[in-house]
Amino acid sequence: MDQPHSVYLHIPFCKHRCAYCDFNTFAGMEKYIPEYLQALTREIEIASLLCPERYPVHSIFFGGGTPSLLPALSLRSLLEKLYLVFEISDNAEISLEANPGTVSRASLGSLRKAGFNRLSLGVQSANPGELRLLERSHNYFDVIRSVNWARQSGFDNLSLDLIYGLPGQTLENWQVSVQRSLALAPEHLSLYALTIESGTLLGCWAAKGYIPIPDPDCAAEMYEWAAGFLEQRGYEHYEISNWAVPGFQCRHNLQYWRNLPYFGFGAGAHGCVGGVRTANESALTRYIRLMKQGAAGDYPAAPAVVERRLIDTKTEMQETMLTGLRLTEEGVSMERFRRRFGIEMREVFGEQIEKLTAVGLLEWVKDRTPDHSEVLRLTRRGHLLGNQVFIHFVE
């Protein structure tokens, strides 16, 4: 119970749906914002009623969608609600996802004052053609302006998202995007490989042959170049797709990767508290309706929960490996595993580990703690072949 939790709030609204996006987002549904805020507030209240005591919380993440589309005032009241319900630590990381072009000097100022202390900007690319292809509604000047305003407002923890492996993208274009982003001196960078999902605009274009399918080897080149470049610039590569100035790792995402508990509020949000994974109804209006009419059972049977999965120990161990091995530096510590489960990692996963170390995808290293505990993690080659490792930790 004294273990700190995290809280995720999903804000599914967008001005326009990007061409690659298959997240739970809705464009042109702004008229539902007031009702959605009510539902979200109610969900937080219900959670508080169901909780036997106030949970300690050390990170909050407003994700989307485009949370920055909401008025700063609304975001502030949500945050205030959370402060009423949870025991939020003084140094809690409170992140907001924002799209350049949806923020202003004024709004960023209010958000910072409201308590947000980390801003994650969806930059995606510095190349106008690529931004058009992705159907992003901003340009790179918006990015520069947003970063400046954020700095002026007192945000000293900034993260930028970039996407690589785009149709038609060259290594040179990619290098420019990374270099321009680094010029803005962000504390944190997420570099995501594009996945063309069916049901998205890109998926549709690719199926019709309008755009070339990106070559995975090119994407690998881009990744490896960026990894080298960022290392030179003093960024620590701490997760497959994430780099940070030491001390600025994203605490909220670390919570997921260390397989630690988090609440999820909002349409389609996922939570994992008390050994139960839950998923909320993802359709916007149905979520609102469920929250309006529904009565709550025991947590996490909140009214909008449509999926509920009890995590047994075996599954928890598998998921700990699955998520922990994404942490490229930290990996999964033998010692922590033993403390958490009361059994040796090798005893449970010996066969898989042996096989994967033999083919050079996993390695044992000593970690940085004084007692130099042994840590299992992906090899450098394994960073890009994660799935070949992870499939050994699912049924």
Partner 1 sequence: MTANIRNFCIIAHVDHGKSTLADRLLQLTGTISDREMTEQVLDAMDLEREKGVTIKASAVRMLYTAQDAVEYELNLIDTPGHVDFGYEVSRALYACEGAILVVDATQGIEAQTLANLYSALEADLEIIPVINKIDLPSAAPDEVAEDIVSLLGGSLDEIIHVSAKEGKNIQAVLEAIVREVPAPKVDAEAPMRALVFDSHYDSYKGVIAYVRMIEGILRPAQTVRMMATRVDVKPVEIGIFTPGQKPVQSLAAGEVGYIATGLKTVQDCRVGDTITLASAPAAEPLPGYRTPKPMVFAGIYPAEADDYGDLRDALEKLQLNDASLSYEPETSQALGFGFRAGFLGLFHMEIIQERLEREYDLDMVFTAPTVEYEVVKLDGARILIDSPAELPDENEIEEIREPWMHLEIISPTDFYGPVMEIVTKRRGHFVSQEYPAPHRVQLNFEIPLSELIVDFFDDLKSRTRGYASMDYRLVEYRPDELQKLEILVNGEPVDALAAIVHKQDAYHKGQRLITRLKATIPRQLFDVAIQASSGGRVISRANVKALRKDVLAKCYGGDITRKKKLLEKQKKGKKRMKKIGNVEIPQEAFMAVLRLENE
Write out the residues near partner 1 by the rule CB under 8 A: 8, 10, 23, 63, 192-195, 216-217, 219-220, 223, 240-241, 256-257, 262, 264, 268-272, 277, 279, 307, 309, 319, 322-323, 326, 359, 361, 383-388, 390-392, 394-395
| Shorter beta-carbon distance to partner 1: residue 147 or 240 | 240
Residue 383's alpha-carbon distances to 5, 44, 282, 327, in angstroms, are: 28, 37, 31, 10
Closest by CA to 148, choosing from 113, 185, 180, is 185
Q: Report the residue number, 116 or 262, with the smaller CB distance to partner 1.
A: 262
Min dist. Cβ of residue 389 to partner 1 (A)? 9
DSSP letter (8 states) at residue 65: S
User: Which phi and psi (to 5°) does residue 125 adopt?
Assistant: -165, 155
Roughly what angle, to the nearest 10 degrees, separates helices 105-114 and 140-153? Answer: 40
Residue 153 or 161: the one with the smaller Cβ distance to partner 1 is: 161
CB of 191 to partner 1, least distance (A): 8
Phi first, then psi: give them for residue 157, nearest 5 degrees.
Answer: -135, 95
* Angstrom distances, CA of residue 230 to CA of 53, 172, 245, 341: 43, 16, 10, 36
Nearest distance from C-beta of residue 273 to partner 1, angstroms: 11
The encoded tokens of residue 85 equal 């319900």
At closest approach, how far in Å is the CB of 91 from partner 1? 22
Helices (H), 65-158: 72-85, 105-114, 128-133, 140-153
Q: Give whichever of 183 and 391 is closer to partner 1, judged by the CB atom.
A: 391
Which residue's CB is nearer to partner 1, number 103 or number 322? 322
Q: How far is the CB of 295 from partner 1 (least distance, A)?
A: 25
Nearer to partner 1, 213 or 394 (CB): 394
Closest CB 159 distance from partner 1, rounded Å: 13
